[in-house]
Amino acid sequence: MLALIHGEISVYPMGTSTTSASFYIAKGIESIQNMEGIRYEINAMGTVLESDNIDKIYDAAKSIMEVVHNLGVNRVEVILKIDSRRDKNKKK
């Protein structure tokens, strides 16, 4: 069966000393760069994740969130949207 799953993740570190979130987001993205079975594309409003396995999407989202927490952020808001298709081949 064909499966193509997209997830769009947006991460918002709360209670930091700056209004910029780019440092935290960059560190979170570093944590998924070598993850097998996941592709990603960063845009201005979030990061699009792509896989043929929903668990890989969840693992990537968890990794990003945990990295931000481990950088000393006590509260992290994460918005994850999922689009699952079974009628389309994954990208090469």
What domains sit in the chain, N to C, each tagged with a CATH number?
4-85 (3.30.70.930)
Contacts of 37 (CB under 8 A, 6+ apart): 51, 52, 53, 56
pTM (two decimals): 0.86
Residue-wise pLDDT tens digits, 28-71: 999 999 999 999 999 999 999 999 999 999 999 999 999 999 99
The answer, yes or no, to whether residue 17 has pLDDT greater than 90, is no
Q: What is the mean pLDDT of the chain?
A: 92
Residue 7: count of CB within 10 angstroms of its CB? 23
Q: How far apart are CA 27 and CA 84, in angstroms?
A: 27
Confidence of residue 90 (pLDDT cuts 50, 70, 90): low
* Strands 75-85 and 4-14, bridge-based pairing: antiparallel
The string over 8-41, giving b where at least 16 C-beta atoms fall within 10 Å of a residue's C-beta and e elsewhere, is bbebebeebeeeebeebbeebbebbeeeeebebe
